[in-house]
């Protein structure tokens, strides 16, 4: 099966996500408008116009009715997926770097970057409460950090939120008790966290980092279970919903790409065995680093977004589906 190559962004991709059924693919990039596509044929359904800067992250509710986006224009926006209308905006003093929706789709968690006198902050707001969503509204939960939070993720229903910062530290907070993190991992990564994703069954969090590794963590206590090593910085990692497989994406730092041959840049997506930590396959496609990866809920398609501005939808062939790992 030839991969679909989708061109809807004229700048680098920052996030690709499937909805729960997997029939729609959402993408955000360093241009202002996130896009939504049909997974089946790569047809673009539309764009969400309203931001005035890079869209760093997006998330979609379980019923695909609501989408949230975080942007460099210092705002979080809530969208009606079907109509493309922006229903709510939360303005912040500094750029919003990540956003996540809770299991119910009612709580939105987001992080902001540290700039000048403003500390990096993690906030949670209830979308159902108009007072929390209005200008200057007080959220359910807020805590500040000395180092910028790059990634946030609701990891346990509507209760716990896991964050990764620019120093490689991963923290987990229970939003019902905001005093201190309920779990911490300072040892898995030496450099900044680039992505955090939940495994489909919710038991693990997979983290990727600029230190050329990805780590599989126990969701309850953030203890490292496995580590996957690459030759280049890892920008994204995700877990297969049906096999014990992990896919990593990254490549030579975007700043150095012009001095790098495509073969030496390691711009392929790499498949690893979850338990044995060994790479067993890779597939090419992007001619720049891969910034974001997502597994289709059925486990037979991988979507990737690259620095080259393309979204690639790679359907895994029968050979992969029948593949058995030699112990």
DSSP 177: B
CB 115 within 8 A of CB 75: no
pLDDT band at 227 (very low <50, low <70, confident <90, very high): very high
What confidence score (pLDDT) does residue 316 get?
A: 85
* Least confidently predicted of 18-22, 258-262, 311-315: 258-262
Work out the burial of residue 89: count CB atoms within 10 Å of its CB; fewer than 13 is exposed, 13-18 middle, 19 or more buried: middle
Given phi > 0 = left and psi -120 to 50 = alpha, else beta, which region is 106?
alpha
Cα(7)–Cα(5) distance, rounded to whole angstroms?
Answer: 7
DSSP three-state, residue 164: strand
Q: Dihedrals φ, ψ of 29, to 5°?
A: -145, -170
The answer to whether 312 and 42 are in contact (CB under 8 A) is no
Q: Could you tell me if 249 and 290 are in contact, meaning their C-beta atoms sit under 8 angstroms apart?
A: yes
Please say whether the beta carbons of 110 and 152 come within 8 A. Answer: yes
Q: What is the pLDDT of residue 137?
A: 72
Residue 167 has pLDDT above 70, yes or no: yes
DSSP 288: S
Instruction: Please give the pLDDT value at position 4.
Output: 84
Cα separation, 228 vs 209, in Å, equals 11
DSSP annotation of 2: P
pLDDT at 282: 84
Counting beta carbons within 10 angstroms of the beta carbon of residue 143, is it exposed (0 to 12), middle (13 to 18) or buried (19 or more)? buried
Q: Is the pLDDT of residue 1 over 60?
A: no
Q: What are the backbone dihedrals phi and psi of residue 132, each rounded to the nearest 5 degrees, phi first?
A: -75, -25
Which has more confidence, 157 or 45? 45
Over pLDDT 70: what percentage of the chain?
Answer: 94
Percent of the chain with pLDDT over 90: 34
* Contact status, residue 35 vs residue 43, Cβ threshold 8 Å: no
| Tens digits of residue pLDDT in 177-226 | 877 888 888 888 898 899 999 998 889 999 999 989 999 999 988 999 99
Q: What is the pLDDT of residue 259?
A: 58
Looking at residue 206, its pLDDT comes to 93
Tokens of 251: 């490549």
């Amino acid at each position: 099966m030839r991969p679909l190559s989708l061109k809807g962004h004229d700048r680098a991709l920052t996030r690709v996500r499937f909805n729960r059924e997997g029939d729609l693919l959402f993408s955000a990039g360093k241009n202002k408008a996130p896009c939504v596509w049909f997974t089946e044929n790569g047809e673009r359904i539309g764009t969400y116009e309203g931001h005035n800067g890079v869209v760093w992250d997006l998330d979609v509710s379980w019923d695909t009715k609501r989408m949230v986006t975080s942007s460099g224009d210092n705002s979080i926006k809530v969208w009606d997926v079907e109509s493309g209308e922006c229903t709510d905006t939360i303005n912040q003093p500094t750029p919003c770097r990540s956003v996540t929706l809770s299991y119910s789709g009612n709580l939105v968690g987001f992080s902001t970057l540290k700039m000048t006198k403003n500390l990096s902050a993690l906030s949670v707001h209830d979308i159902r409460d108009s007072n929390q969503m209005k200008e200057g509204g007080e959220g359910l939960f807020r805590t500040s950090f000395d180092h910028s939070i790059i990634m946030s993720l609701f990891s346990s229903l509507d209760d716990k939120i896991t964050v990764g910062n620019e120093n490689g530290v991963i923290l987990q907070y229970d939003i019902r008790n905001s005093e201190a993190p309920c779990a911490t991992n300072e040892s898995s990564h030496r450099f900044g966290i680039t992505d955090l994703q939940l495994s489909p069954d919710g038991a693990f969090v997979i983290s990727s980092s600029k230190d050329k590794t990805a780590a599989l963590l126990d969701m309850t206590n953030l203890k490292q279970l496995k580590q996957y090593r690459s030759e280049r910085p890892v920008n994204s990692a995700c877990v297969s919903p049906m096999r014990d497989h992990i896919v990593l994406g990254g490549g030579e730092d975007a700043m150095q790409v012009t001095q790098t041959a495509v073969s030496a840049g390691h711009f392929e997506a790499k498949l690893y065995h979850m338990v044995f930590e060994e790479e067993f396959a890779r597939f090419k496609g992007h001619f720049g680093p891969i910034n974001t990866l997502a597994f289709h809920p059925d486990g037979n398609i991988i979507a990737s977004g690259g620095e080259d501005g393309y979204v690639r939808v790679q359907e895994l062939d029968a050979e992969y589906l029948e593949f058995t790992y030699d112990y």
